[in-house]
Amino acid sequence: MKSIHLPDLPGQLAELIRQIPERKVVTYGELARSLGDSSAAKWVALYCRQTAEDFSIPTHRVIRATGEVASSTSPDFKVKCERLKQEGVPVKDGKVDLSQHHFQQLPSLGILHQLREDQLDLQAKLQFEPFDGVPETIGGIDVSYAKPGKGTVCLTVVKTADGSLLETHYLERDIPFPYIPGYLSFRELPLLLEITQQAMTSGHLPPVLMVDGNGILHPRRLGIAAHLGILLDWPTFGVAKKLLCGSLEPADPQTSSRPTQGTVTETKELSAGEKKPIYLHEKVVGFTTRLTERSTHPIFVSPGNKIDLISVERILDSLPVDKWLPAPTYFADRLSRKQSKLSDE
Protein backbone atom coordinates (compact mmCIF):
# COMPACT_ATOMS: atom_id res chain seq x y z
CA MET A 1 0.00 0.00 0.00
CA LYS A 2 1.25 3.47 -0.92
CA SER A 3 1.87 5.67 2.11
CA ILE A 4 3.10 9.13 2.93
CA HIS A 5 5.47 10.04 5.76
CA LEU A 6 4.31 12.98 7.83
CA PRO A 7 6.33 14.97 10.37
CA ASP A 8 4.80 15.62 13.79
CA LEU A 9 4.32 19.33 13.18
CA PRO A 10 2.32 20.06 16.38
CA GLY A 11 4.92 18.19 18.44
CA GLN A 12 7.78 20.09 16.81
CA LEU A 13 6.02 23.40 17.41
CA ALA A 14 5.49 22.54 21.08
CA GLU A 15 9.21 21.83 21.45
CA LEU A 16 10.08 25.14 19.82
CA ILE A 17 7.81 27.04 22.20
CA ARG A 18 9.37 25.27 25.19
CA GLN A 19 12.74 26.71 24.15
CA ILE A 20 11.57 30.28 24.76
CA PRO A 21 13.05 31.30 28.14
CA GLU A 22 11.21 33.18 30.86
CA ARG A 23 10.94 36.95 30.41
CA LYS A 24 11.29 36.50 26.63
CA VAL A 25 8.77 36.41 23.79
CA VAL A 26 8.70 35.45 20.11
CA THR A 27 6.11 36.13 17.41
CA TYR A 28 3.78 33.78 15.58
CA GLY A 29 5.56 34.57 12.32
CA GLU A 30 8.99 33.78 13.76
CA LEU A 31 7.82 30.34 14.86
CA ALA A 32 6.29 29.77 11.42
CA ARG A 33 9.57 30.71 9.73
CA SER A 34 11.45 28.40 12.09
CA LEU A 35 9.16 25.59 10.91
CA GLY A 36 10.01 26.54 7.35
CA ASP A 37 7.23 28.76 5.98
CA SER A 38 5.77 32.08 7.13
CA SER A 39 2.39 31.01 5.73
CA ALA A 40 2.04 28.76 8.80
CA ALA A 41 1.72 31.80 11.12
CA LYS A 42 -2.08 31.62 11.20
CA TRP A 43 -1.95 27.97 12.27
CA VAL A 44 0.70 28.78 14.91
CA ALA A 45 -1.68 31.36 16.40
CA LEU A 46 -4.53 28.84 16.36
CA TYR A 47 -2.35 26.20 18.02
CA CYS A 48 -1.41 28.65 20.78
CA ARG A 49 -5.06 29.46 21.47
CA GLN A 50 -6.04 25.78 21.51
CA THR A 51 -3.24 24.83 23.94
CA ALA A 52 -3.41 27.93 26.15
CA GLU A 53 -4.51 25.88 29.16
CA ASP A 54 -1.64 23.40 28.80
CA PHE A 55 0.91 25.05 31.07
CA SER A 56 3.62 22.62 29.97
CA ILE A 57 3.72 24.65 26.73
CA PRO A 58 4.43 28.34 27.48
CA THR A 59 2.27 29.72 24.68
CA HIS A 60 1.86 32.97 26.62
CA ARG A 61 5.37 33.82 25.38
CA VAL A 62 4.15 33.84 21.76
CA ILE A 63 2.72 37.16 20.63
CA ARG A 64 1.96 39.24 17.56
CA ALA A 65 4.64 41.02 15.51
CA THR A 66 3.19 44.35 16.72
CA GLY A 67 3.97 43.41 20.31
CA GLU A 68 0.30 42.78 21.08
CA VAL A 69 -0.13 39.79 23.38
CA ALA A 70 -3.26 38.77 21.47
CA SER A 71 -6.54 40.25 20.33
CA SER A 72 -8.28 41.80 23.32
CA THR A 73 -11.33 39.70 22.45
CA SER A 74 -9.38 36.45 22.34
CA PRO A 75 -10.26 33.96 25.12
CA ASP A 76 -6.61 33.64 26.10
CA PHE A 77 -5.84 37.39 26.23
CA LYS A 78 -6.19 37.88 30.00
CA VAL A 79 -4.44 34.61 30.84
CA LYS A 80 -1.45 35.49 28.66
CA CYS A 81 -1.17 38.97 30.17
CA GLU A 82 -1.26 37.56 33.71
CA ARG A 83 1.31 34.85 33.03
CA LEU A 84 3.69 37.32 31.38
CA LYS A 85 3.37 39.74 34.30
CA GLN A 86 4.05 36.91 36.75
CA GLU A 87 7.32 36.27 34.93
CA GLY A 88 8.29 39.92 35.18
CA VAL A 89 7.36 40.99 31.64
CA PRO A 90 5.56 44.36 31.67
CA VAL A 91 2.37 44.44 29.60
CA LYS A 92 1.15 47.95 28.80
CA ASP A 93 -2.10 48.46 26.88
CA GLY A 94 -1.99 44.79 25.89
CA LYS A 95 1.52 45.06 24.42
CA VAL A 96 5.02 43.82 25.24
CA ASP A 97 8.12 45.89 24.43
CA LEU A 98 9.86 43.65 21.90
CA SER A 99 13.06 45.70 22.10
CA GLN A 100 13.44 44.55 25.72
CA HIS A 101 12.04 41.01 25.71
CA HIS A 102 12.51 39.66 22.18
CA PHE A 103 14.05 36.17 22.00
CA GLN A 104 15.92 35.80 18.70
CA GLN A 105 17.67 32.45 19.03
CA LEU A 106 15.03 30.04 17.73
CA PRO A 107 16.54 27.13 15.80
CA SER A 108 15.62 26.73 12.15
CA LEU A 109 13.89 23.37 11.74
CA GLY A 110 12.92 23.81 8.10
CA ILE A 111 10.25 21.09 8.23
CA LEU A 112 7.91 22.84 5.82
CA HIS A 113 10.82 23.77 3.58
CA GLN A 114 11.59 20.06 3.19
CA LEU A 115 7.94 19.31 2.38
CA ARG A 116 8.08 21.97 -0.34
CA GLU A 117 11.18 20.31 -1.76
CA ASP A 118 9.35 16.99 -1.74
CA GLN A 119 6.47 18.58 -3.66
CA LEU A 120 8.84 19.98 -6.28
CA ASP A 121 10.52 16.59 -6.71
CA LEU A 122 7.15 14.88 -7.23
CA GLN A 123 5.87 17.63 -9.51
CA ALA A 124 8.58 16.76 -12.00
CA LYS A 125 7.03 13.28 -12.35
CA LEU A 126 3.57 14.47 -13.43
CA GLN A 127 2.24 13.18 -16.74
CA PHE A 128 -0.26 15.07 -18.88
CA GLU A 129 -1.73 12.88 -21.57
CA PRO A 130 -5.01 12.70 -23.47
CA PHE A 131 -7.70 10.57 -21.84
CA ASP A 132 -9.46 8.45 -24.43
CA GLY A 133 -13.13 9.36 -24.67
CA VAL A 134 -15.41 9.79 -21.65
CA PRO A 135 -15.44 7.23 -18.81
CA GLU A 136 -18.70 5.50 -17.90
CA THR A 137 -18.15 6.37 -14.25
CA ILE A 138 -16.26 9.09 -12.41
CA GLY A 139 -15.11 9.10 -8.80
CA GLY A 140 -15.51 12.06 -6.47
CA ILE A 141 -13.54 12.56 -3.23
CA ASP A 142 -13.96 15.05 -0.41
CA VAL A 143 -13.06 15.26 3.29
CA SER A 144 -15.19 16.88 6.01
CA TYR A 145 -14.48 17.71 9.64
CA ALA A 146 -17.15 17.61 12.34
CA LYS A 147 -14.48 18.57 14.88
CA PRO A 148 -10.79 19.51 14.70
CA GLY A 149 -8.43 16.63 14.11
CA LYS A 150 -11.09 14.12 12.97
CA GLY A 151 -11.72 13.71 9.24
CA THR A 152 -14.33 11.80 7.27
CA VAL A 153 -13.52 11.04 3.65
CA CYS A 154 -16.19 10.09 1.14
CA LEU A 155 -15.50 8.42 -2.20
CA THR A 156 -18.46 8.47 -4.57
CA VAL A 157 -18.93 6.65 -7.86
CA VAL A 158 -21.17 8.52 -10.29
CA LYS A 159 -22.60 7.44 -13.64
CA THR A 160 -21.33 9.97 -16.15
CA ALA A 161 -24.33 9.87 -18.48
CA ASP A 162 -26.94 11.01 -15.95
CA GLY A 163 -24.94 12.01 -12.86
CA SER A 164 -26.62 9.39 -10.70
CA LEU A 165 -24.91 8.11 -7.56
CA LEU A 166 -23.93 4.44 -7.88
CA GLU A 167 -21.68 3.80 -4.87
CA THR A 168 -20.54 5.53 -1.69
CA HIS A 169 -17.55 4.64 0.48
CA TYR A 170 -16.54 6.24 3.81
CA LEU A 171 -13.56 6.28 6.15
CA GLU A 172 -13.04 8.22 9.37
CA ARG A 173 -9.57 8.81 10.78
CA ASP A 174 -7.64 11.15 13.06
CA ILE A 175 -5.91 13.95 11.14
CA PRO A 176 -2.86 15.16 13.07
CA PHE A 177 -1.40 17.42 10.37
CA PRO A 178 -2.79 20.99 10.47
CA TYR A 179 -4.28 22.98 7.62
CA ILE A 180 -1.64 25.29 6.12
CA PRO A 181 -2.22 26.82 2.65
CA GLY A 182 -0.23 24.92 0.03
CA TYR A 183 0.17 21.81 2.21
CA LEU A 184 -3.36 20.34 2.10
CA SER A 185 -2.16 17.06 0.62
CA PHE A 186 -0.04 16.32 3.71
CA ARG A 187 -3.16 16.77 5.82
CA GLU A 188 -5.65 14.70 3.82
CA LEU A 189 -3.66 12.32 1.62
CA PRO A 190 -3.46 9.51 4.21
CA LEU A 191 -7.27 9.26 4.14
CA LEU A 192 -7.47 9.58 0.37
CA LEU A 193 -4.82 6.94 -0.17
CA GLU A 194 -6.48 4.48 2.18
CA ILE A 195 -9.95 4.77 0.69
CA THR A 196 -8.82 4.78 -2.96
CA GLN A 197 -6.50 1.82 -2.48
CA GLN A 198 -9.31 -0.13 -0.83
CA ALA A 199 -11.50 0.64 -3.85
CA MET A 200 -8.68 -0.26 -6.22
CA THR A 201 -8.14 -3.62 -4.51
CA SER A 202 -11.86 -4.47 -4.74
CA GLY A 203 -12.08 -3.32 -8.36
CA HIS A 204 -14.39 -0.41 -7.53
CA LEU A 205 -12.08 2.53 -8.31
CA PRO A 206 -13.47 4.57 -11.24
CA PRO A 207 -11.16 5.24 -14.21
CA VAL A 208 -10.95 8.97 -13.35
CA LEU A 209 -10.99 10.64 -9.95
CA MET A 210 -12.32 14.16 -9.33
CA VAL A 211 -10.82 15.50 -6.09
CA ASP A 212 -12.08 18.41 -4.00
CA GLY A 213 -8.96 20.56 -4.14
CA ASN A 214 -6.38 21.54 -6.72
CA GLY A 215 -4.43 19.67 -9.35
CA ILE A 216 -1.58 21.74 -10.78
CA LEU A 217 -3.33 24.99 -9.84
CA HIS A 218 -0.97 25.23 -6.89
CA PRO A 219 2.10 27.35 -6.00
CA ARG A 220 4.35 24.34 -6.66
CA ARG A 221 1.99 22.74 -9.20
CA LEU A 222 1.31 19.82 -6.90
CA GLY A 223 -2.07 20.20 -5.27
CA ILE A 224 -3.78 17.29 -3.56
CA ALA A 225 -5.33 15.93 -6.78
CA ALA A 226 -1.94 15.88 -8.52
CA HIS A 227 -0.18 14.41 -5.47
CA LEU A 228 -2.79 11.64 -5.20
CA GLY A 229 -2.55 10.91 -8.92
CA ILE A 230 1.21 10.37 -8.73
CA LEU A 231 1.03 8.07 -5.71
CA LEU A 232 -1.80 6.02 -7.22
CA ASP A 233 -0.49 6.24 -10.80
CA TRP A 234 -4.07 7.13 -11.77
CA PRO A 235 -5.88 9.83 -13.78
CA THR A 236 -6.98 12.63 -11.44
CA PHE A 237 -8.07 16.24 -11.61
CA GLY A 238 -8.98 18.87 -9.06
CA VAL A 239 -12.14 20.92 -8.57
CA ALA A 240 -11.54 23.64 -5.98
CA LYS A 241 -14.10 25.92 -4.37
CA LYS A 242 -11.61 28.77 -3.91
CA LEU A 243 -8.76 30.20 -5.95
CA LEU A 244 -5.53 29.31 -4.14
CA CYS A 245 -3.17 31.00 -6.59
CA GLY A 246 -2.91 32.07 -10.19
CA SER A 247 -4.75 34.77 -12.09
CA LEU A 248 -7.39 35.21 -14.75
CA GLU A 249 -4.85 37.30 -16.67
CA PRO A 250 -1.39 36.22 -17.85
CA ALA A 251 1.76 37.86 -16.55
CA ASP A 252 2.83 40.97 -18.41
CA PRO A 253 6.03 40.02 -20.31
CA GLN A 254 7.06 43.70 -20.52
CA THR A 255 6.96 44.33 -16.78
CA SER A 256 7.34 40.74 -15.48
CA SER A 257 4.31 41.54 -13.35
CA ARG A 258 2.86 38.30 -12.10
CA PRO A 259 -0.63 38.60 -10.68
CA THR A 260 -1.21 35.94 -8.06
CA GLN A 261 -4.95 35.87 -7.56
CA GLY A 262 -8.10 36.54 -9.55
CA THR A 263 -10.63 38.83 -7.98
CA VAL A 264 -14.15 38.02 -6.85
CA THR A 265 -15.47 40.58 -9.33
CA GLU A 266 -13.82 38.81 -12.24
CA THR A 267 -15.28 35.41 -11.38
CA LYS A 268 -18.76 36.76 -10.69
CA GLU A 269 -18.85 38.11 -14.24
CA LEU A 270 -18.91 34.56 -15.60
CA SER A 271 -22.12 33.51 -17.31
CA ALA A 272 -23.37 29.94 -16.80
CA GLY A 273 -21.17 27.48 -18.67
CA GLU A 274 -18.56 30.07 -19.57
CA LYS A 275 -14.94 29.14 -18.92
CA LYS A 276 -11.97 31.39 -18.36
CA PRO A 277 -8.36 30.15 -18.30
CA ILE A 278 -6.32 30.47 -15.13
CA TYR A 279 -2.67 31.43 -15.49
CA LEU A 280 0.17 30.64 -13.16
CA HIS A 281 2.73 33.13 -14.39
CA GLU A 282 2.69 32.73 -18.20
CA LYS A 283 1.14 29.25 -18.41
CA VAL A 284 -2.48 28.12 -18.42
CA VAL A 285 -2.87 25.60 -15.59
CA GLY A 286 -6.65 25.30 -15.41
CA PHE A 287 -9.91 27.17 -15.83
CA THR A 288 -12.73 28.66 -13.82
CA THR A 289 -16.39 28.22 -14.63
CA ARG A 290 -19.84 28.72 -13.17
CA LEU A 291 -21.95 25.66 -13.85
CA THR A 292 -25.49 27.04 -13.58
CA GLU A 293 -27.30 30.37 -13.59
CA ARG A 294 -28.25 29.72 -9.97
CA SER A 295 -24.62 29.21 -8.95
CA THR A 296 -23.32 32.12 -6.91
CA HIS A 297 -19.81 30.66 -6.72
CA PRO A 298 -17.42 29.60 -9.49
CA ILE A 299 -15.27 26.49 -9.38
CA PHE A 300 -11.57 26.23 -10.24
CA VAL A 301 -10.56 23.19 -12.28
CA SER A 302 -7.09 21.85 -13.08
CA PRO A 303 -5.56 18.54 -14.20
CA GLY A 304 -3.81 16.36 -11.68
CA ASN A 305 -1.94 13.43 -13.19
CA LYS A 306 -2.21 11.19 -16.27
CA ILE A 307 -4.77 13.49 -17.94
CA ASP A 308 -4.52 16.75 -19.86
CA LEU A 309 -6.58 19.92 -19.57
CA ILE A 310 -8.52 19.30 -22.79
CA SER A 311 -9.60 15.88 -21.53
CA VAL A 312 -10.59 17.33 -18.16
CA GLU A 313 -12.78 19.92 -19.87
CA ARG A 314 -14.41 17.27 -22.08
CA ILE A 315 -15.18 15.02 -19.11
CA LEU A 316 -16.59 17.88 -17.06
CA ASP A 317 -18.79 18.92 -20.00
CA SER A 318 -20.13 15.39 -20.30
CA LEU A 319 -21.70 15.49 -16.82
CA PRO A 320 -25.27 16.75 -16.33
CA VAL A 321 -25.35 20.20 -14.75
CA ASP A 322 -27.86 21.00 -12.02
CA LYS A 323 -25.73 21.98 -9.01
CA TRP A 324 -22.93 24.46 -8.41
CA LEU A 325 -20.48 21.55 -8.08
CA PRO A 326 -20.07 18.64 -10.53
CA ALA A 327 -22.04 15.57 -9.38
CA PRO A 328 -19.06 13.46 -8.15
CA THR A 329 -17.72 16.10 -5.74
CA TYR A 330 -21.19 17.48 -4.99
CA PHE A 331 -22.22 14.10 -3.56
CA ALA A 332 -18.83 13.59 -1.88
CA ASP A 333 -19.03 17.03 -0.24
CA ARG A 334 -22.61 16.64 0.97
CA LEU A 335 -22.33 13.03 2.12
CA SER A 336 -18.95 13.43 3.86
CA ARG A 337 -20.39 16.31 5.90
CA LYS A 338 -23.49 14.29 6.76
CA GLN A 339 -21.44 11.24 7.77
CA SER A 340 -19.00 13.28 9.87
CA LYS A 341 -21.88 14.79 11.84
CA LEU A 342 -23.40 11.35 12.42
CA SER A 343 -20.05 10.03 13.63
CA ASP A 344 -19.73 12.93 16.06
CA GLU A 345 -23.10 12.26 17.74
Report the DSSP pairing between strands 283-289 and 275-280.
antiparallel
Same structural domain for residues 195 and 337?
Answer: yes
The model's pLDDT over 311-330, given as tens digits with 9 standing for 90+, comes to 999 999 999 988 999 999 99
Q: What is the CA radius of gyration of the chain?
A: 22
Provide the CATH number for the domain around residue 168: 3.30.2170.10
205 part of a folded domain: yes
Residues 200 and 334 in one domain: yes
Percent of the chain at pLDDT > 70 equals: 94
pLDDT in tens, 27-83: 999 999 999 999 999 999 999 999 988 989 999 999 999 999 998 888 889 999 999
**123 and 247 share a domain?**
yes
Question: For the packed helices 224-232 and 111-123, what is the interaxial angle rounded to 10 degrees?
Answer: 60
Find the angle CA(182)-CA(183)-CA(186) to the nearest 5 degrees.
160
Q: Domain check: are 189 and 280 in the same one?
A: yes
The answer to the question of residue 279 being in a domain is: yes
Give the distance, in angstroms, between the CA of residue 311 and the centroid of all CA atoms in the same chain: 25
**Residue 80: CATH number of its domain:** 1.10.10.10
- Residue 48 is assigned to a structural domain of this protein: yes
Residue 114 counted as domain residue: no
Judged against a pLDDT cut of 70, whether residue 254 lies above it is answered with: no
Q: Are residues 319 and 236 in the same domain?
A: yes
Identify whether the C-beta of residue 16 lies closer than 8 Å to the C-beta of residue 106: yes
> Is 1 within the bounds of a domain?
no
Q: Do 258 and 330 belong to one domain?
A: yes
Domain finish residue from 80, 109, 138: 109
Provide the Cα torsion 310, 311, 312, 316; round to 10°. 110
> With 90 as the cut, is the pLDDT of residue 257 above it?
no
Does residue 339 form part of some domain? yes
Of residues 187 and 342, more confidence is placed in 187
- Report the C-alpha dihedral over residues 47, 52, 53, 59, rounded to 10 degrees: 100
Q: Note whether 42 and 159 are same-domain residues.
A: no
| CA 291 to each of CA 193, 216, 266, 275, 313: distance values in angstroms, whole numbers, following the listed order | 29, 21, 16, 9, 12
Distance CA 12, CA 5 (A): 15
- Is residue 337, in this structure, part of any structural domain at all? yes
Residues 235, 301 within the same domain: yes
Task: Give the mean pLDDT of the chain.
Answer: 92
- Residue 173 CA to residue 136 CA, distance in Å, equals 30
pLDDT at 322: 85
Residue 16: the pLDDT is: 97
- DSSP string for 94-137: TB--HHHHB--------HHHHHHHHHHHHHTT-------S--SE
Domain that holds residue 248: 119-344
Domains held by the chain: number: 2
Q: Are residues 310 and 245 in the same domain?
A: yes
Residue 2 within a domain: no
pLDDT of residue 262 exceeding 50, the answer is no
CB 59 within 8 A of CB 134: no
pLDDT, tens only, 21-35: 999 999 999 999 999
Reported in sequence order, the residue ranges of the chain that DSSP labels E, i.e. its strands, are 26-27, 62-63, 137-147, 150-159, 165-174, 209-212, 236-240, 275-280, 283-289, 299-305
Same-domain check for residues 226 and 287: yes
Residue 256 pLDDT grade (very low, low, confident, very high; cuts 50, 70, 90): very low
**What is d(CA 262, CA 259) in angstroms, rounded to the nearest whole number?**
8
Q: Write down which residue in 64, 89, 109 finishes a domain.
A: 109
Same domain? 102 vs 130? no
The residue among 109, 141, 159 that closes a domain is 109
Look at the pTM and tell me if it is higher than 0.95: no
Shared-domain flag, residues 205 and 311: yes
Q: In one letter, which amino acid is 259?
A: P
What dihedral angle (degrees, nearest 10) is formed by the CA atoms of 10, 195, 302, 260? -10
Residue 267 pLDDT class (50, 70, 90 cuts): low
